[in-house]
Amino acid sequence: MSERKYFGTDGIRGRVGEFPVNAEFILKLGWAAGKVLGRNGGKVIIGKDTRISGYMFESVLEAGLASAGVDSYLLGPMPTPAIAYLTRTFRADAGIVISASHNPYYDNGIKFFSAAGTKLPDEIELEIESWLGKSLTTTSSEKLGKAYRVKDAAARYIEFCKSTIPSSIELSGLKVVLDCANGATYHIAPNVFEELGADVITIGGSPDGLNINRDCGATDVRALGTKVLEENADLGIAFDGDGDRVMMVDGQGRLVDGDQLLYIIARERHRRGSLQGGVVGTLMSNLGLEQGLSKLGISFVRSKVGDRYVIEKLLDNDWKLGGESSGHIICLDANSTGDGIVAALQVVATMMTDERSLAELAGEMVKCPQVLKNVPVAKGAKPLESESLQAAVTEVETALGDRGRVLLRASGTEPLIRVMVEGDTSAEIEGHASRLADVVSASAKAR
């Protein structure tokens, strides 16, 4: 299969104004997508997060699709998983998300969902890229696409989120702080939790186009932890800018990460007999997650890093639950992609059912100490092929036995080798990681 020129693992992303994330290219991308995804007319759902450039890209995508004879249904600011859900319920030909997820406001991106609410297959992305190499043409006037504003998109998605937990569960008596990252969940998540009966305090809920993900959200829970302590809340929940990731803090303001949230959901589903197979994590998932699930008799496999690969592994195994340490939690029995609000509701429902705090539930999974070191290497260097490094890794793995784990991988975006070591004690693994980092550095220079 040919290499993709523009599409990465999660669509097209970059700095606004710099090719390919500029108005001219995105106009043509809309046209090319219309040619491939809506050959005989058709309709495409378009949603965005709250960054200021979303207005511009929404307009040019609409124009590009219209020139190809495809109708646009504009949702306005909506979480990425909402766009996946609404693409299915509207029976649309595709969904388009304008977002750079957890990146700063000056970045943006475009990603696509198929009619089934899943990420596009590689062959479809390649076909879109082939159209990008052609001259943009406009269909005859009577066949031009139209644009419609979907006024009830938020209400539809709020009701969907609420439906993912049993109607018998009420959140009355629960005090929760929500950090919406000044992003796409700002007008969704507070309504979901309030309508379910929770006492809600919201931070990061006043987007201005420039403050998305700034010192808030799933990538920075410090403000959330502080607010939970100030308000004496039961827990805090943080979403990222486009709402497909979630992190939590307990009543003491301590972080509960994606691995722990995944464990809590898996344990509860296993207890109810509704897990439907095993659990998928990634190469970076904490060893404590694997060990904790093993004690419960739950199968666990690892995928490459990235929610795209987690979903692929789930589909391969016909399983329903997977996720990443970063907070992408995928419940395929509810939605076709990672959904921060849905995942948070599964955890909170467990708290209410079990009458236990988040700290108590998270404490059942014992995280292994983990050290991650980033070793700069020259472009083109291949230290991972070094015999001396392979020998050093073998020695460390032998010393750790089944009490730890070693992972070395090249960064996909920077000239770095990432060295990760897990084990029983921080002092032990720090020593192992430092030694391996030194061997990586020496091997890179030797070659």
Q: Which residues are catalytic?
A: 101
Q: DSSP string of 334-358? A: T-SS--HHHHHHHHHHHHHHHT--H
Q: Give the single-character DSSP code of 318.
A: T
Dist CA 277 CA 287 (whole Å): 20
Q: DSSP string of 291-307? A: HHHHHTT--EEEE-SSH
Radius of gyration for the alpha carbons in the chain, expressed in angstroms and rounded? 23
Element (H, E) at 17: none
Q: Give the single-character DSSP code of 153.
A: H
- How many other C-beta atoms can be found within 10 angstroms of the C-beta atom of residue 337? 22
Strands 279-282 and 321-323: parallel
End-to-end Cα spacing for the chain: 31
- How many other C-beta atoms can be found within 10 angstroms of the C-beta atom of residue 310? 28
Place of tokens 């932890």: 225
Residue 428: what residue type? E
- How many other C-beta atoms can be found within 10 angstroms of the C-beta atom of residue 262? 32
Tokens at 156, concatenated: 């539809």
Q: Which residues contact 103 (CB under 8 A, 6 or more apart)?
A: 13, 109, 213, 241
Identify any residues that bridge with 177 across adjacent strands, giving them in sequence order.
201, 236
Dist CA 422 CA 184 (whole Å): 35
Q: Give the single-character DSSP code of 401.
A: G
Tally the residues of the chain.
447
Q: Please report, for the chain, how many H helices and E strands are present, in that order.
A: 14, 18
Say if CB 151 and CB 157 are below 8 A apart: no
102 alpha-carbon distance from chain centroid: 9
Tokens at 276, concatenated: 């439907």
